[in-house]
Amino acid sequence: MGFFGSMTKLATKAVKEAVEEAVAPPPAASRDTPPSASGQTFAQQSEKAIPGVIRMFSGCQDAQTSADVFDTSVFQLPAECGPGGAGGACTNAMLKTLLRDEANPPTWVELLEGMRHILKEKKFTQLPQLSSSRQLQLNEPFSVVGGGGGKKRALLIGINYVGQQGELRGCHNDVLSMKQYIEKHGYSSDADSMKVLMDDGQHEMPTMANIISAFGWLTHGIEAGDSLFFHYSGHGGSVKDTNNDEADGKDETLIPVDYQEKGQLSDDVILANLVLEVPRDATLTAVIDACHSGTVLDLPYTLVADSSTMESVASGQTTALPENGEFNFAQLLKVGQLLFTMHQQGASKQEIAVAAFTELNKAGALKGLSGSFASLFNN
C-alpha cells in the first residue's frame, strides 16, 4: 500500500477508534500511573495509539550526530563478526557488547550501558538511546526476538551514498555484520524472511519508494506473537516540522539514496508505514545507526544513556523505561465525544477529521500524538 493509501487507512482508523472511545466505559485505572483526563493511564493510551510492541536502539539523540568509523578494528570484534573495515559506531558498539558473552545475553540496560561505555572509551560523544512503545523493564534480558514464538522477518538497510556528496564507508559493512548476528539468533536469510537494501550494485537499491515498499513487506501478514527486526545504517537528518507535532519543531528523518530527487523519509511517514502497521502483540526490534535518530520512530517511552540517567538506573531508582512527557492524550475523550456526536448527525469523515484536528490542536494534544495522526487531519 502506498503512502496516500496508508494515510486514508489511518484516517479511517483514527475516526473509528475515536468514536468507539467516546461510547466505551472508562477502563479501570492502574495503581502505578495516575489516570489522565480520559480515564486511561499513560500505558493504556500508549497501547491504544501504538498496538505493536516496538523497541528501538538509536545511536544518538535527536540533536547529535552518529559517527562513521574508518577502521572498526578499534572495537576489537571477533574475526567472524562481519567483514571488518569501516562501520558505524552505534552498530559496532552494540555488537561488541552483545558478543562479550553470547551464552548470557545482557539485559536491556546492560546493553545500553555497554554501548555508552564503549562509545565514551573510543572518544565518541554520541549518547545511545533506548525507546519503546511499552514500559520495558530494564533488567529483562535483551533479545532480537519477541516472546511469542511466531514467525520471524528482518529488514536490513545500508546506504553508503556511493558517488554522492556525503558518501559514507561503513554502512554496508554494518548490515553484513548485523545480518550475521541475527542469523545466529533465530532469523533466516531466505527471501521470504529477510530483505536487504544496499547501494552496492548487488541488492535492491534503498530508494524512497523501495524503503516504503520494504516496510510493507516487513509487516504484511504479521500476527500476534511474530517477531520483526529492522536495522538501518546510513544518514539521518531533521527537517522543519510542518504539522506542529514535534516539541523541538523538527521531524527526524532517514535519508534514502535518492534523497536529492525524492527528499527525506520523515518520522511521520515511518510511523504510518512501519510502526503503526505492526499488529497488537507482534514485536519489532529496531536498531537505527544514523544521525539525529533518537526519536525517529516516535515512541512514548524513552531513556537516554547520559550520566545522571545511568546513575539513577544503577541506584535502583529507575527500573523501567520512563514515560516521554511530551505525549499528551488528556483531551482524547472529549474529542471522541465530539466525533461521535458528529457521526450521529451524519457528518462526513472529512468533516469529522477536520473537527478532530481543530479540537486537538486547540487543546495542545497534537504534541502527544504521532505526526501521521496529526497530519492526516490537515489533508
The pLDDT tens digits of the residues spanning 50-76 come to 899 999 999 888 888 887 777 677 787
CA distance 137 to 108: 8
- Output the CA angle 372-373-378, nearest 5 degrees: 85
Check the CA dihedral 21-24-26-28 and report its sign.
negative
Can you point out the beta strands (E) in the chain? Answer: 53-58, 68-69, 87-88, 129-132, 152-158, 194-198, 227-233, 236-240, 250-254, 265-266, 283-289, 301-304
Segments in the chain below pLDDT 50: 1-12, 14-16, 18-32, 37, 242-247, 328-336, 360, 363-379
Give the model confidence (pLDDT) of 305-348 as tens digits: 999 999 999 999 999 999 987 654 444 344 445 555 666 677 77
User: Can you read off the three cell numbers belonging to residue 369?
Assistant: 500524538
Residue of 60, 291, 292, 343 marked catalytic: 291
pLDDT of residue 48: 84
pLDDT of residue 349: 59
Are 206 and 174 within 8 A, CB to CB?
no
Which of 74, 93, 94 shows the shortest CA–CA distance to 84? 74
Active site residue 203: no
CA distance 197 to 257: 10
pLDDT of residue 160: 96
Which of 117, 377, 337, 88 shows the shortest CA–CA distance to 245? 377
The string of DSSP codes covering 2-40 is -HHHHHHHHHHHHHHHHHHHHHSPPPPPPSSS---TTS-
pLDDT of residue 161: 96
Residue of 81, 172, 231, 235 marked catalytic: 235
Active site residue 291: yes
pLDDT of residue 356: 54
pLDDT of residue 204: 97
Check the CA dihedral 53-57-58-62 and report its sign.
positive
pLDDT of residue 367: 41
